[in-house]
Structure 1
């Protein structure tokens, strides 16, 4: 059973848990209640109870978590809409006995209804807004609303922070807490549960890890006695069995220095670090580089096919790298390393494919370049940049870019002088 952390202030967490337990009985929910948003950092860094997924009551705790540990596919938050402002105006107007004309609103900078606030300027005479970042202190938000109230510039205050809402009420200021409504919570929860199911099926996909000692025939020729080869294979097998234990998998010898481990995708992805360590150990024992290709799939046949494709790519690399081919055809180079690169070697765009064929460029080559540019967030690049990051020769990078320019997939947008002598370096962009 998966455990889901529900993170937010007490009132929000109780409401989310009530709705979540109504529609999902097979998950275990763990409340993480905070008094101050800064506590979210401790929750995600050192959770008292280990959890598999995180459901945040709003964008603020979610953003704090992402800023603390980075983006995570197990994180999701419940998003509010402009409906919460409409509801607040109606509720507070009903309490006053007349329509609100002047309000103050605090809101996350560049998030949810920021751009939509303009639509409230017509029915309202005055509207004061304070965009803020998640690191802001609650006291600053309270002072923003309180100062406007003291200056008799507002009739009510709208805030994203529950603690600010409570402080405003204690100060006698009509206030409304901008929080998700029931339908928004239910919609997010249902989407989240579908994501968890998808994650489960993905986690249990079949994985085939193919490991091959490169130039194994040459190693055998160097052995003076057959016993030396037997001892080497025993040492290699011991390391592989230890790896199998970590992956909860089964080892199959395919002969001539090639082995296959059958496991699940989830186990392999969780143990990438151990896999890299064991592969390096195998390389030292054999005195040779080791190629590793991993294939994921819904069936054994698909996983094996993808593993064969991955091992071929791994053997072509100039240095030892692990390559993964996923069930959708996505390929991952240099798995677990800083220069890890994810791209697809397929395209359904027939017109674009015809262009690449005309330029004699494979889909895989272009997708690698495109993925690198996206990963590095380059607005422009040089052939030297491609050569360094894609581990290819300068001449090969120049040829590829030249061919892409011929079919208008890449264009030269200028030159830059990096050195005091020599020709300026041409700068390119994808069209």
Structure 2
């Protein structure tokens, strides 16, 4: 049975994308054209029951679909990869004879542009660039203003509607279009993700791994080719790891990779969410893999979103921390540590206490878990710091804040080291009366 793929794209690249999709016998494509982002909600609402997966022509319509909440089907988009921009820049630099500082860009990040320009041996060049802020009119105004002031001679946009509006205003404009390879890459990713969801009766699990391919590398200078080879070597190891966990790998931003698999597989390879997976590929990349967030969700989108939140929670710990965020909004981790915490991120009671104490729900959830684990409501700053893996002075600030909010009281002191400073013992009561 073929996979019903709904494709939402724009007019100028529609036939190109459809030609690539037709090469895949696994897909039956349902194409829909849009001219404005506002039309996406209606398309999703009308046709989500007819498709198994959604593919979008770029990250902006993809974001619009995510925010709409009109579909629970897996969502994918064709990225503006480096090769897409290379092709446009070659046309501009070598055919139109324009300079980089005569151009304005949008959507792509400053870091992405600088990396690409460095590979063209263009360094220390001022870049006019505006990232997306929720309005294509803002992008049009940005390019138009620079051109009218004589600061630029042309605009480079990733958005079809921006190209159309700028052209109607007389602004020379070039559009970054997807390449065949970028379309094939996302189709393969979507195909593997669908197979995982279809053939394994389990929730979706997404691992977002943060990497630093240059960590541990000597300070000597490298050519762009050598740097590219380092990144490719890291990616290859992650691909091998993804294969072992029966998942698919997707680039998720600078230094980040997402692996799509299932809850059952992740539970098995982490010993019921208690340890970091024991694979040779991960050990070989130990210095380059900084942190990992795992999200468990009912849909690909939910799991990916929770994985991102789990990754944010690893910031409280040293490099190498792995955290898991479940669909019921509970968090556990860091995996493999003796003082692993498991706490709720959404609780009506904790929300009220948070408002009264100015402490975050996450911090309160951790304290609640620690007290239950210790089977006592009494604790000192040193003990709290050990359990939360924070500095004692940070733990003291938390306890003082709880005391000031009427949620803790000092009941005594202990002095395990006669020459040391006595430690105040607090009794904590996490309730509001």
Deviations 1:129-164 (A, max 9, x none): 22222x30x333223222222222212101121122
Task: Provide the C-alpha distance between the structure 2 equivalents of 1:340 and 1:99, rounded to a whole number of angstroms.
Answer: 52
Runs of at least 5 residues in structure 1 that lack an aligned partner in the other structure: 206-295, 307-323, 327-337, 357-365
Q: Determine if the alignment matches structure 1 residue 62 to structure 2 residue 36.
A: no
Whether the 8 Å CA contact 2:106–2:130 is kept in 1: the answer is: yes
In structure 2, what is the equivalent of residue 118 of structure 1?
A: 114
Task: Provide the C-alpha distance between the structure 2 equivalents of 1:79 and 1:106, rounded to a whole number of angstroms.
Answer: 14
The CA deviation at 1:195 is 1.0
In structure 1, what is the equivalent of residue 30 of structure 2?
A: 30
In structure 2, what is the equivalent of residue 152 of structure 1?
A: 150
Task: Provide the C-alpha distance between the structure 2 equivalents of 1:406 and 1:99, rounded to a whole number of angstroms.
Answer: 55
The CA deviation at 1:13 is 3.3
In structure 1, what is the equivalent of residue 13 of structure 2?
A: 12
Number of residue pairs the alignment of both structures matches: 277
**Is the alpha carbon distance of 1:150 and 1:76 closer, same or farther for their aligned partners in structure 2, counting shifts above 3 Å?**
same
The CA deviation at 1:67 is 1.4
**Is the alpha carbon distance of 1:3 and 1:344 closer, same or farther for their aligned partners in structure 2, counting shifts above 3 Å?**
farther
Whether the 8 Å CA contact 2:10–2:160 is kept in 1: the answer is: yes
Task: Provide the C-alpha distance between the structure 1 equivalents of 2:407 and 2:169, rounded to a whole number of angstroms.
Answer: 71
Whether the 8 Å CA contact 2:332–2:343 is kept in 1: the answer is: no
Whether the 8 Å CA contact 2:330–2:344 is kept in 1: the answer is: no
In structure 1, what is the equivalent of residue 328 of structure 2?
A: 340
**Is the alpha carbon distance of 1:383 and 1:44 closer, same or farther for their aligned partners in structure 2, counting shifts above 3 Å?**
closer
Aligned to 1:47, what secondary structure does the other structure show? helix
Deviations 1:261-300 (A, max 9, x none): xxxxxxxxxxxxxxxxxxxxxxxxxxxxxxxxxxx979xx
Whether the 8 Å CA contact 1:102–1:153 is kept in 2: the answer is: yes
Task: Provide the C-alpha distance between the structure 1 equivalents of 2:72 and 2:408, rounded to a whole number of angstroms.
Answer: 46
Deviations 1:220-257 (A, max 9, x none): xxxxxxxxxxxxxxxxxxxxxxxxxxxxxxxxxxxxxx
The CA deviation at 1:126 is 4.9
The CA deviation at 1:341 is 4.8
**Is the alpha carbon distance of 1:154 and 1:368 closer, same or farther for their aligned partners in structure 2, counting shifts above 3 Å?**
same
Whether the 8 Å CA contact 1:9–1:162 is kept in 2: the answer is: yes
**Is the alpha carbon distance of 1:127 and 1:400 closer, same or farther for their aligned partners in structure 2, counting shifts above 3 Å?**
same
Q: Determine if the alignment matches structure 1 residue 181 to structure 2 residue 169.
A: no
Whether the 8 Å CA contact 2:408–2:427 is kept in 1: the answer is: no
Whether the 8 Å CA contact 2:346–2:361 is kept in 1: the answer is: no
In structure 2, what is the equivalent of residue 43 of structure 1?
A: 43
The CA deviation at 1:19 is 0.7
Aligned to 1:381, what secondary structure does the other structure show? helix
The CA deviation at 1:40 is 1.4
The CA deviation at 1:170 is 3.9
Larger radius of gyration: 1
In structure 2, what is the equivalent of residue 103 of structure 1?
A: 103
Whether the 8 Å CA contact 1:404–1:410 is kept in 2: the answer is: no
Whether the 8 Å CA contact 1:45–1:69 is kept in 2: the answer is: no
The CA deviation at 1:41 is 2.1
The CA deviation at 1:35 is 0.7
**Is the alpha carbon distance of 1:381 and 1:150 closer, same or farther for their aligned partners in structure 2, counting shifts above 3 Å?**
closer
In structure 2, what is the equivalent of residue 396 of structure 1?
A: 375
In structure 1, what is the equivalent of residue 368 of structure 2?
A: 386
Task: Provide the C-alpha distance between the structure 2 equivalents of 1:150 and 1:421, rounded to a whole number of angstroms.
Answer: 61
Runs of at least 5 residues in structure 2 that lack an aligned partner in the other structure: 204-262, 273-295, 299-325, 352-358, 411-425, 429-433
Whether the 8 Å CA contact 1:149–1:155 is kept in 2: the answer is: yes
**Is the alpha carbon distance of 1:386 and 1:35 closer, same or farther for their aligned partners in structure 2, counting shifts above 3 Å?**
same
Whether the 8 Å CA contact 1:157–1:173 is kept in 2: the answer is: yes
**Is the alpha carbon distance of 1:381 and 1:145 closer, same or farther for their aligned partners in structure 2, counting shifts above 3 Å?**
closer
**Is the alpha carbon distance of 1:370 and 1:97 closer, same or farther for their aligned partners in structure 2, counting shifts above 3 Å?**
same
Whether the 8 Å CA contact 1:16–1:185 is kept in 2: the answer is: yes
**Is the alpha carbon distance of 1:426 and 1:175 closer, same or farther for their aligned partners in structure 2, counting shifts above 3 Å?**
farther
Whether the 8 Å CA contact 1:6–1:13 is kept in 2: the answer is: no
How do residues 67-216 of structure 1 correspond to structure 2 at under 5 angstroms? 67-69=67-69, 74-97=74-97, 99=99, 101-107=101-107, 112-119=108-115, 120=117, 122=122, 126-133=126-133, 135-136=134-135, 138-203=136-201
**Is the alpha carbon distance of 1:18 and 1:401 closer, same or farther for their aligned partners in structure 2, counting shifts above 3 Å?**
farther
Whether the 8 Å CA contact 1:157–1:174 is kept in 2: the answer is: yes
The CA deviation at 1:88 is 1.9
**Is the alpha carbon distance of 1:182 and 1:339 closer, same or farther for their aligned partners in structure 2, counting shifts above 3 Å?**
closer
**Is the alpha carbon distance of 1:180 and 1:114 closer, same or farther for their aligned partners in structure 2, counting shifts above 3 Å?**
farther
Task: State the Cα RMSD in Å.
Answer: 4.6
